[in-house]
Structure 1
Amino acid sequence: MADFLQDYKREHQSYVTLLFCSAYLYKQAFAIPGSSFLNLLAGALFGPWTGLFLCCTLTSLGATSCYFLSQAFGKQILILYFPEKVSMMQNKIEENRSGLFFFLLFLRLFPMTPNWFLNLSSPILNVPVGQFFFSVLIGLLPYNFICVQTGSILSQIKSLDDMFSWGTLLKLLAIALVALIPGTIVKRFSHHKLEGKELIVNGRKSM
């Protein structure tokens, strides 16, 4: 199957790339699940690095399209069907307004709410589009990397020997290292939030 996809891509590279990008942007813009499948497919079709670049770029652009669509048409629908979730997210955003970018990264790395809902609700919650875009780009990088690398590895495995080759093991090690990034981001966010609380406490004490 992987060989067939590669052969088809070589013969129709522009068509395959255009079709993949269009499908990815459509899926993201209209908050349709399925990122993991498309990321795996990107790794198999385009390789680990081109696939990662495409997925990160398309994820960010598609999510931002979803942001603008929701800003134009989604407010009443979200408030009507998800009033409790919107209220909960509003409270969380306001609590972390001083460190909003790190909080958005935290939500992408360890989602307390689905990514599709975060994309739709962000304009309603007054999240700046710049912070939104880069939080998607950076926050979903580890997830995209893991999926794309996995797709690339699976497309190259043709026997059990391939599974235990040095190349495959090094790629798996890279995936494991990238999986540690979320913990580092969360630690940074927690430290930032703690500093903010200390400033508030000191400010009250000085009064």
Structure 2
Amino acid sequence: MESPKASPPQAPAKHGTLISKIIIVCVVILLIILFYVFDLGQYFSLEYIKSSQERFAQLYEAHTVLVIATYMGIYIVMAALSLPGAAVMTLLGGALFGRLIGTLAVSFASTIGATLACFVARFLLRDWVQNKLGDKIKPINQGIQREGAFYLFTMRLIPAFPFWVINLVMGLTSLPLRTFYWVSQVGMLPGTFVYVNAGTELAQIDSLGGILSPSLIISFVILGIFPIAVKKIMGWYRARQDMKQPPA
């Protein structure tokens, strides 16, 4: 009689995962340190892009595809690392590329960057959170599976929720990355267009605070809450209908 085959040890796989996590953490920390040590934030200020707009426009006319690709690459890295300057980059996209191309470039770059940030947070922290909290987080995961797309859509629409916080929090849940990507892209689209549209008149902008007026923020809030409200009303209506039906 043959002896049963022993299952392969799990230690090497866990060891490899740990090394991968350490490498990712080191790379992220290094890039963030370099950003601040070399004061790269000065190149993502409103004053800098306004003073450099003409030079950027000349580069765009001479090397259109290269400039768009470089712009999107920088935007993706900034979004993935949660570095400051995304709003200024969005304004620059409108100033250089116009409303259509600017909105498309920013929409895809910001969503790809956000998805990378979500993936990194999930890869580094989700297992630890699940092991620590266990059954306590199970209802949250179940709720995310059922209605996570609606809540994410609402948070993406409302500017009050910080971009990087949403990426981190959703990375700790069981929401599929594919769902995270398309909901984020759709949800961020109105705000993206507002900033890109403002960027087409960059010379007239004195501060970032004036772009989103209180009435515009309220409109985003209403727009974000609307799909959840509809879903709740439909659920309540179906429950009422089920209660009215006679038992079989």
> What TM-score, normalized to structure 2?
0.60
Q: Quote the residue 1:165 is aligned against.
A: none
Q: Quote the residue 1:169 is aligned against.
A: none
RMSD of aligned alpha carbons: 3.4
Distance 2:94 2:160 in 1: 27
Helix, strand or coil at the partner of 2:83: coil
Distance 1:64 1:57, change over 3 A: same
Q: Quote the residue 2:75 is aligned against.
A: 24
Q: Structure 1 regions of 5+ residues with no counterpart?
A: 158-171
Q: 1:3 aligns with which of 39, 50, 54?
A: 54
Runs of 4+ in 1 over 6 A off after TM superposition: 176-179, 204-207
Farther-moved stretch of structure 1 (19-28 vs 96-105)? 96-105
Q: Structure 2 regions of 5+ residues with no counterpart?
A: 1-50, 205-210
Helix, strand or coil at the partner of 2:200: helix
Q: Is 2:155–2:224's contact at 8 Å kept on the other side of the alignment?
A: no
1:115 aligns with 2:163: yes
Q: Quote the residue 2:101 is aligned against.
A: 50
**1:27 CA displacement:** 0.9
1:188 aligns with 2:227: yes
Counterpart residue type for residue 105 of structure 1: F
Distance 1:152 1:185 in 2: 26
Structure ranking higher on relative contact order (CA contacts 8 Å, 6+ apart): 1
Distance 2:123 2:144 in 1: 25
Q: Is 2:75–2:110's contact at 8 Å kept on the other side of the alignment?
A: yes
> What is the count of residue pairs matched by the alignment?
181
Q: Which has the larger radius of gyration?
A: 2
Residues 76-111 of structure 1: per-residue CA shift (max 9 Å, x gap): 78x5xxx9xxx89x74x6546533322211111126
Helix, strand or coil at the partner of 2:166: helix
Q: Quote the residue 1:131 is aligned against.
A: 179
Residues 174-193 of structure 1: per-residue CA shift (max 9 Å, x gap): xx999846533422321212
Q: Is 1:43–1:52's contact at 8 Å kept on the other side of the alignment?
A: yes
Q: Quote the residue 2:197 is aligned against.
A: 149
Distance 1:190 1:96, change over 3 A: farther
Q: Percent identity?
A: 22
> What TM-score, normalized to structure 1?
0.71
Distance 1:179 1:112 in 2: 10
